[in-house]
Structure 1
Amino acid sequence: MEKGRRAIDDEQKEVRRQTILDTAWQLYQQHSYETLTIADVAQATGLAKGTIFLYFKTKEALFLVVVEQQLESWFFEVNGVLESLAGRATIPQIAALFNDSLGKRPALTRLLAILHTLLEQNIDESAARQFKRMLKEHFLQTGNWLEKSLPFLGLGQGAHCLLQCYALVIGFWHLTDAAPIVRRVLQEEEFQMFALDFAREFPLAMQSLLYGLEHEAHLKKEV
């Protein structure tokens, strides 16, 4: 095969691959992960089901890349704001930034909630390594901007703080994204204490985490 022809074929394959990813993301925003199938993605793209599997070995592998692309978009937005706040951010500002940016991406938050329990359960080692490497790079980069925005965070502490916030996102989403039957039960006065709202609880928990780290940093300076 001629070099020019190979380049065109590679470009066409990449366009098709991105079309599959974009379609999967669009469908996921309308359906649950459990009900969405590879056949649905194939039908929406006008491709054969077997063609989808040429690009992604499993449904989980497909949505792992969807998560990766959506996270990259989220990190890009957050980094831009953190850069503008470098050296003069407040803890409530940072908590609001994370909450508001995630609030605009509810489907991403839903995906993060099933990342470890579903998506990572049926992928190969290469895909797992690639995803973790991507996540590590973004955590280090955004963690660095977080340290510049909140000077009480020490070197390398920003990335670990992001990991803790990531855990808060997953935990609170599981608590607040109740099944339809449970939501009806939670409307009863007896169970109101369990009716949590992600947009309210997550930023409060993140602020508590950051204030705790700030207090710890001050204590270390006094020793």
Structure 2
Amino acid sequence: MKRARAPEQKAQRRATILHAAEVCYHLNAPNLPSVADVAAQAGVSKGTVYLYFHTKEEIFLALYSFHLNAIFKDIQQVDVSENPTLALTDALLQYVTLHPIFMPLAGMLHSVLESNLSLDVLLNFKLQLSQGLTHTATKLDHKLNSDAGFSERALLHSYAALTGLWQLLQWPSALAHEQGNPQFGALHKSFEEELRLLLRNIWRID
């Protein structure tokens, strides 16, 4: 495959690699696939992948960022004219349901993905995350006619609810034989139901 040179070609090649990484993850979950696996799925050489990403963690951080930015965009476009709490809750739930890779990536963000990044990549990620959060929160505060800072805090709390609940309610495959044991009933909750309850409380506007 020829090397991408024009900016639009490079952007398309990068998108192809990220799509391949997502496909590979679904085939290898819960383990991150190797750069070689991603390259093979994308139809490029490992060297080509390394032109865009230095480590496999960097690949999946970029994939996580892509989905997080998509969530921000979805939230910014939500119609909050009638029932803002329900609308925002539904938007968040719909996205994580339609894109099942987001929660596993969110769950490994701090312990895995950020552990093998250069300082520049990590700093740039944190800066983009902060800017995306602030931009989304500002738009929501305006649409909701809420006090400045309400939406920023609500977004932070929503993220904590998403990741915390998902990690807590995941059942280890090694304990599959115990999944129906009533002793663990407190952990046999519906992720969607519990998350919906939490998000509605977080986004309740008095």
TM value normalised by structure 2: 0.86
- Contact between 2:25 and 2:31, CA under 8 Å: does it hold in 1? no
**In 2, distance between residues paired with 1:8 and 1:55?**
12
Structure 1 residues 196 and 182: alpha-carbon distance in aligned structure 2, compared to 1, 3 A threshold: farther
| Contact map agreement 1:67 1:108 (CA 8 A) in 2 | yes
Mapping of residues 2-81 of structure 1, within 5 Å: 8-81=5-78
Aligned runs of 1:69-218 on 2, under 5 Å? 69-81=66-78, 84-86=79-81, 88-151=82-145, 153-211=146-204, 214=205
Structure number with the higher helix fraction is 1
Count of residue pairs brought into register by the alignment: 203
AA in 2 matched with 1:147: D
Q: Secondary structure at the match of 1:154?
A: coil
Amino acid at match of 1:142: T
In 2 relative to 1, CA 182–134 (structure 1 residues): closer, same or farther, beyond 3 Å?
same
Amino acid at match of 1:154: D
C-alpha displacement of 1:149 = 4.7
Note the C-alpha offset of 1:11: 4.2
CA distance in 2, matches of 1:101, 1:51: 31
Q: CA 1:11–1:80 in 2, change beyond 3 Å: closer, same or farther?
A: closer
Q: Considering only CA atoms, is the larger Rg found in Structure 1 or Structure 2?
A: 1
C-alpha distance in 2, partners of 1:12/1:168?
38
1:207 and 1:26 map into 2 onto residues whose CA distance is 32
| Runs of at least 4 residues off by over 6 Å | none
Structure 2 gap segments, 5+ residues each: none
Task: Find the counterpart in structure 2 of residue 219 from structure 1.
Answer: none
Please tell me the root mean square deviation across aligned C-alpha atoms, in Å.
2.2
Deviations 1:42-78 (A, max 9, x none): 1112222233222211111111111111222222222
Q: Secondary structure of the equivalent of 1:106?
A: coil
- Equivalent residues of 1:23, 1:41 under 8 A apart: yes
